[in-house]
Amino acid sequence: AQSVTQLGSHVSVSEGALVLLRCNYSSSVPPYLFWYVQYPNQGLQLLLKYTSAATLVKGINGFEAEFKKSETSFHLTKPSAHMSDAAEYFCAVRPSGGSYIPTFGRGTSLIVHP
Amino acid sequence: NAGVTQTPKFQVLKTGQSMTLQCAQDMNHNSMYWYRQDPGMGLRLIYYSASEGTTDKGEVPNGYNVSRLNKREFSLRLESAAPSQTSVYFCASSEVRAGFLITSPEAFFGQGTRLTVV
């Protein structure tokens, strides 16, 4: 069985500040890990993914995430927030073997203040 | 590049009415999924299909049925809609190949269907 925990349903930052969205996972086999972004009234768009290559993964819009096996974490960061980053962010896990079904966290709403 | 296409985008139903949500993907994926999204609950899996001809229940299957019509299409049916089924529904697909590492294991999503049951 696998699960995803996103710490904080809402995160508020000022424009230009560091963005840190936390994600911890559990998986019985080596996982694939993902971050998705959802803008209002839209579907989910892939930000970045970890597929067992480099542990530091760079994505679109200046976001990156680091896979830390010892901490079972995959936190999302961006050095400087923009107003356009305001959205809902979802962390997801999918085992690389056995079950292939992606499991999603409950989401974190990022609020960016001017 | 259509990806995953869902219809309709919006729907209002009366309690007890039935409807089918349609989903089609053009990426030749084996696996398809239906999720519902509710505030504070994230995405919950309703049903999934590992391949053409197979379907299985997910976390919240009650009140729903599905059909994997062919490799491209995976529909979700509400036989007798209830207000508790008011939600945003997403269809998704992904590549699955047993025994192989996949370069694109992510799920691709449609734009969603906003369903209101009154």
User: What pLDDT, on a 0 to 100 scale, did the predictor assign at position B2?
Assistant: 76
- Strand (E) or helix (H) holding A12: strand A10-14
Is there a contact between B42 and A107 if contact means CB atoms under 8 Å apart? yes
Mutate to test the interface with A, among B43, B57, B109 (most CBs of A within 10 A): B43
Q: Which of A32, A90, A107 sits opposite B105 (nearest CB)?
A: A32
Distances in whole angstroms, Cα of residue B111 to Cα of each of A74, A108, B89: 26, 19, 9
β partners of residue A66? A56, A75
Contact, A64 vs A57, CB < 8 A?
Answer: yes
Alpha carbon of residue B25 to chain centroid: 11
Write the pLDDT tens digit of every residue in A6-25.
999 999 999 999 999 999 99
Distances in whole angstroms, Cα of residue A10 to Cα of each of A21, A87, A108: 9, 10, 5
Is there a contact between A51 and B112 if contact means CB atoms under 8 Å apart? no
Write the pLDDT tens digit of every residue in A43-102.
999 999 998 778 899 999 999 999 999 999 999 999 999 999 999 999 999 887 766 889
User: What pLDDT, on a 0 to 100 scale, did the predictor assign at position A21?
Assistant: 98
- How many CA atoms does the CB half-sphere of A47 hold within 13 Å? 27
b/e per residue B74-91 (b: at least 16 CB within 10 A): bbbebeebeeebbbbbbb
Write the pLDDT tens digit of every residue in A23-55.
999 987 778 999 999 998 899 999 999 987 788
User: What pLDDT, on a 0 to 100 scale, did the predictor assign at position A100?
Assistant: 81
* Run means of pLDDT, 10 residues per run, chain B, 118 residues: 90 97 94 94 93 92 95 96 97 80 83 96
Which chain A positions have a beta carbon within 8 Å of B33's beta carbon?
A: 101-102
